[in-house]
Structure 1
Amino acid sequence: MTIIDETQKQTRAAMDAKVILYKTLRTEYKPFEAKRRLLGNFDMFLSDDRIRRLLSSHIGKHFYERKKEPLSLNLQSKKLALDIQGTTTTSISKKGCYCMAYVAHSGMAADELAENIDSAVSTIVTKLRVRKDR
């Protein structure tokens, strides 16, 4: 399932996914039960990185509690499939010192794993510095 804005309709043809426009999400999926059905019908949610910050107020807390928050991607990318495979997720909790990031899979070589860990650590440090400065 992909949540995008109107300018990304061509993404539907490139991906085997159901596309829900942001406007539709705001209107048709406003009731609590509609959000719960949406959450139960799909395993993964993607969103255009340009509208990702707008989604949290519309999708509700259940997406975050079940760890199904939308993955933010640049849907205009020429290498979207590679971006999806190389995407790392990070979850930072407001309840203590806990965070988790997926940085590799079992099929990766040791040098690829080391490179991913290094990249993930520098990205997380950058993100934490931004939050600290606010």
Structure 2
Amino acid sequence: MELNEAQVNKATSALLKYFESTKKNDLLADDSPVWLVLSTKILPDNSRVKPIKIPLKYPIFDENSEVCLITKDPQSEYKEMLKELGITRINKVIGVTKLKKKYKPYEAKRQLCSSYDIFLADDRIIPIVPKLIGKTFYEKKKQPVPIKMKKGVLLKEITNALNSTYFFVNNGGCSSIKVGLTSQTPEQIAENIMYSINYIVDKVPGKWKNIQRLSIKTNKSVALPIYSSLPDEAKKIEFEPIKNETEQDEQDEQ
């Protein structure tokens, strides 16, 4: 089973045109992630603490991205390791003890979550991380990504982490995976989708047979379908002008 590349290109073009039209009316609007929304026919048995790494052709994290690294204690040891290796992509290092004490209040966790684009964490502490960071990180899909903190592989681990996106498997039948940015071109986003889709589907129990629908959206748009498991339904998919969430709600009420 394969996605129709032409259809994916039409969808990414339509989505970015809509985003640009809304941005003209909101000068303060920030660039948005582009999400691949995956709906399955059968619910997964359980959720995963560790996100699944998915490679991208065009990375969504760059030199301007804010990166936070969560480490074992003492955090000073790992700050020194980063300095020694000449690694400059990490903006903040937080040890477990500091995470427990300084970021215990809900508001402190919320501010921490909003301050960074991606969180990395020593893979040895991943099992204890969920209760330390709270639900805000999961709601924003910013669960820390596990990396190996051995000196010989650390640079490669960080580079690979920042060149990937992540599939967070939950208990529901719908998952969202960041596959691009509105600052990228429609072609780059489409290539990211085509490049990563088989990696993503391979992690779904039942693979393509369990995929009900695939759509793409921004933070504030409705979802544009790019694949449906029902042939007749797929034929009906048209790339009409996208309504924002308010317009869609008003239409549903009529």
Q: Same fold (TM over 0.5)?
A: yes
Question: Which of 57, 69, 74 is equivalent to 2:148?
Answer: 74
Q: Partners in 2 of 1:80 and 1:3 — Cα distance?
A: 14
**Match of residue 91, structure 1, among 168, 171, 190:** 168
Amino acid in the other structure paired with 1:99 = S
In structure 2, the CA distance between the partners of 1:66 and 1:103, relative to structure 1 (3 Å rule), is: closer
2:79 aligned residue? 9
Instruction: Structure 1 unaligned segments of length 5 or more: list them.
Output: 127-134
Is residue 25 from structure 1 mapped to residue 25 from structure 2 by the alignment? no
- Structure (1 or 2) with the greater helix fraction: 1
% identity of equivalent residues:
30
Change (3 A) 1:117 1:20: same
Deviates more, 1:22-31 or 1:81-90: 81-90
| TM-score, structure 1 as length reference | 0.69
Deviation at 1:53, TM superposition (A): 1.5
Moved over 6 A (4+): none
Say if 1:48 and 1:75, in contact at 8 Å, map to a contact too.
yes
C-alpha RMSD of matched pairs (Å): 3.0
Secondary structure at 1:72's aligned position in 2?
Answer: strand
- Aligned positions of 1:1-134 closer than 5 A: 1-6=68-73, 8-13=78-83, 14-15=87-88, 16-76=90-150, 77-78=153-154, 79-95=156-172, 97-101=173-177, 106=188, 113=195, 119-122=199-202, 124=203
User: Which protein is richer in strand relative to its size?
Assistant: 2
SS at match of 1:2: strand
Q: One-letter code of the match for 1:4?
A: T
For residues 3-47 of structure 1, the C-alpha deviation after alignment (integer angstroms, 9 at most, x for no partner) is 111353335422332101111101111111111121122221111
Q: Distance in 2 between matches of 1:51 and 1:29?
A: 16
Q: Which amino acid aligns with 2:135?
A: K
Letter in 2 for 1:30: K
Unaligned runs of 5+ in 2: 1-67, 206-254
TM-fit CA distance, 1:57: 0.4
Count of residue correspondences = 121
- The verdict on how the C-alpha distance between 1:66 and 1:101 changes in structure 2, with shifts beyond 3 A counting, is closer
Q: Could you say if the C-alpha distance between residues 50 and 67 of structure 1 is closer, same or farther in structure 2, counting changes exceeding 3 Å?
A: same
- Are residues 50 and 30 of structure 1, via their aligned partners in 2, closer, same or farther at CA, if it must alter by over 3 Å? same
2:113, 2:137 within 8 Å by CA — same for their partners in 1?
Answer: yes
Which amino acid in 2 is paired with 1:57?
K
User: Does structure 1 conserve the Cα–Cα contact (< 8 Å) formed by 2:147 and 2:158?
Assistant: no
Cα drift, residue 119 of structure 1: 5.0
Give the direction of change, closer, same or farther, for the CA distance of 1:70–1:11 in structure 2 (3 Å limit).
farther
Q: Which has the higher contact order (CA 8 A, sep 6+)?
A: 2
